[in-house]
């Protein structure tokens, strides 16, 4: 998978992509992420990419021209399956969307700042608008990093058996069950006996029951779906 990202603060994406699973995915050649500085397509030598909003009001808006040039230039090297704008008023990101996006070849992510991007870019280029939650971040980069991580780890070959996504929370609309490791007794806090029984069927049933209980308590909305 190839992911291009357009940003005015590319540094914000460096660390999340250079460690752990995302590092592994890129080293294995399963994922390529290219972050492009929007200022490369600025409207003047001062690096301007934003301007005041029509109609008045506080806050700048990211201009059509630099974004259009960026999108059109990048589209010459790749046919994007989705052009995604990260924005708090987008559709809320979830595991289903991550699964769906992990099947695509080329994604283009646009990170907004200030009051956001000119609506005409959304109307004419953007194919998906995604929010990572009901709160406002100072820019789209951290949201883009969340999307890249959630999607990147699902690419075949990134996770091994031990880290398999099949047992993740949300994969079957259930939260994951509790997990334990050594020691079996820590300060009198004991690991449930069933996990040491060696009876795989019983353990699997117990885990499923725990998942159900946890989901009922914390996320009943998932069961309604």
Binding residues for ligand ADE (CB under 6 A): 86-88, 112, 131-133, 135-137, 140, 143
Least distance (Å) between residue 87 CB and ligand ADE: 5
Residue 112 or 177: which CB sits closer to ligand ADE?
112
Least distance (Å) between residue 9 CB and ligand ADE: 12
Least distance (Å) between residue 146 CB and ligand ADE: 8
Q: How far apart are CA 54 and CA 14, in angstroms?
A: 34
For 104, the token pair is: 């695509």
User: What is residue 12's three-state secondary structure?
Assistant: helix
- Asked if residues 74 and 41 have their Cβ atoms less than 8 Å apart, the reply is no
Could you give the C-alpha distances from 92 to 26, 29, 86, 103, 174, in angstroms and in order?
Answer: 26, 29, 10, 19, 18
For ligand ADE, which residue has the nearest CB?
143
Location of structure tokens 């506080």: 58
Where does residue 209 fall: left (phi above 0), alpha (psi -120 to 50 degrees), or beta otherwise?
alpha
Least distance (Å) between residue 142 CB and ligand ADE: 8
**Strand ranges in 44-81 using DSSP code E only, listed in sequence order:** 50-52, 60-62
Residue 87 or 106: which CB sits closer to ligand ADE?
87
Residue 136 or 223: which CB sits closer to ligand ADE?
136
Least distance (Å) between residue 135 CB and ligand ADE: 6
Residue 94 or 176: which CB sits closer to ligand ADE?
94
Residue 131 or 211: which CB sits closer to ligand ADE?
131
């Amino acid at each position: 998978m190839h992911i291009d990202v357009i940003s005015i603060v590319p540094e914000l994406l460096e660390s999340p992509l250079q460690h752990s699973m995302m590092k592994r995915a890129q080293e294995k050649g399963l994922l390529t992420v290219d972050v492009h500085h929007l200022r490369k397509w600025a409207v003047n030598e001062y690096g301007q990419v934003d301007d005041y909003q029509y109609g008045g009001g506080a806050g700048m808006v990211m201009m059509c021209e630099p974004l259009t040039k960026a999108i059109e230039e990048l589209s010459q090297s790749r046919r994007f399956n989705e052009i995604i704008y990260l924005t708090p008023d987008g559709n809320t990101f979830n595991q289903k969307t991550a699964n769906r996006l992990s099947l695509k070849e080329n994604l283009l992510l646009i990170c907004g700042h200030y009051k956001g991007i000119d609506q005409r870019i959304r109307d004419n280029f953007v194919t998906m608008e995604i929010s990572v939650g009901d709160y406002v971040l100072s820019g789209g980069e951290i949201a883009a990093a969340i999307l890249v991580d959630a999607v990147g780890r699902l690419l075949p070959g990134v996770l091994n058996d031990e880290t398999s996504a099949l047992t993740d929370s949300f994969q079957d609309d259930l939260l994951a069950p509790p997990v334990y490791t050594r020691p079996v007794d820590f300060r009198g806090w004991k690991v449930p006996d069933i996990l040491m029984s060696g009876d795989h069927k019983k353990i699997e049933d117990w885990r499923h029951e725990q998942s159900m209980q946890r989901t009922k308590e914390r996320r009943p909305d998932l069961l309604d779906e």
